[in-house]
Homo-oligomer: A and B are copies of this chain.
Amino acid sequence: MSMEPARRADLEHELRARGYRVTSTRRAVWDVLRFAHRHLTAYEIVARTDAAGRRVDLASVYRTLDLLEDLGLARRSRLLRSEADSWEVAHADEHFHMECIHCGDVDHHVGALVAVIEDHLGKDHGFDVYEVELRVAGRCATCREPRASGRRA
Chain A contact-residue range equals 20 to 34
Nearest-CB residue, chain B, relative to A130? B138
A103 part of interface (Cβ distance < 8 Å): no
**Which residue of the partner chain, among B98, B101, B130, B132, contacts A134 with CB atoms under 8 Å?**
B132
Query: Which residues on the B side are within 8 Å of A135 (C-beta)?
Result: 132-134
* Interfacial residues of chain A within 48-89, with CB under 8 A of chain B in the complex: 80
For the complex formed by this chain, how many copies does it contain in all? Answer: 2
Question: Are B136's CB and A121's CB within 8 A?
Answer: yes
> Given A117-B113, A130-B101, A131-B80 in contact, is the A125-B137 Cβ separation under 8 Å?
no
**Chain A window 106-136, contacts with chain B (Cβ cutoff 8 Å), 1 for yes, 0 for no:** 0101000100010011000111111111111
Question: Are B136's CB and A129's CB within 8 A?
Answer: yes
13 CB-based A-B contacts, threshold 8 Å? A80-B131, A80-B133, A98-B121, A101-B130, A113-B120, A117-B136, A121-B138, A125-B141, A126-B141, A127-B140, A129-B137, A131-B136, A132-B134
